[in-house]
Amino acid sequence: MPKAVQQKNKSWSDAEDTLLKDCVLENVRNGKTQLIAFEEVAEQTGRSAGSVGFRWNSTLRQRYPEELKKAKEEAKSKNSKSKTTSSSDQASTRKNSSTTAPTPSLTTIDDPFKEDGGITYDDVIAFLKNKKKNDDKYSKLKDEHTALQEEHKSLKENFEEVRRLVSKLNNT
């Protein structure tokens, strides 16, 4: 018999609730998704990530609203600090690129790295650094999107399970 079926009617202990709360808050503080926390707790408790998510959303989230708010603020402040650093880097890149010639001439195309040409080594380096940052952001956003899709799927499954149980109770 699968673990999820064996654990289906098992009540949540205080220790499991504490584990779930701590894990979710830690993940939020570190800018990770709640879904990751649900999966970690699911492994440790032998429950499905869906049931762990349901426990968090139906019970524990209401018990710890201030802690969750504080964790989100901490993550936001960490994130804004890194954005501030990133913004200053981008501002200096923009400043450097605005001083270069707008369109290269035929002579600069033949030898684009001349000092009097339109494109310099610094321009190429700045472009590549900016491209790498954008690639990293894209990758991170793509991962977050995938995690959110999985969380959405899990929540939909939980909702359907609850709907099925309510329907079953109403028919009884």
Is pTM beyond 0.75? Reply is no
Q: What is the pLDDT of residues 113-142, one digit of tens each?
A: 445 556 788 888 888 998 999 999 999 999
- Exposure string of 45-78, with b = 16+ CB inside 10 Å and e = fewer, is bebbbbbbbbbbeeebeeebeebbeebeeebeee
Give the number of C-alpha atoms closer than 13 A to the C-alpha of residue 56, restricted to the C-beta side. 27
Return d(Cα 106, Cα 62) in angstroms, integer.
66
Give CA 71 to chain center in angstroms.
Answer: 14
Decide if 53 contacts 154 (C-beta within 8 A): yes
pLDDT at site 1? 40
Q: Which two tokens stand for residue 170?
A: 């109403």
The single-letter code of the amino acid at 47 is R
pLDDT in tens, 41-81: 999 999 998 889 899 988 888 999 999 999 989 888 887 77
- At 116 the pLDDT is 52
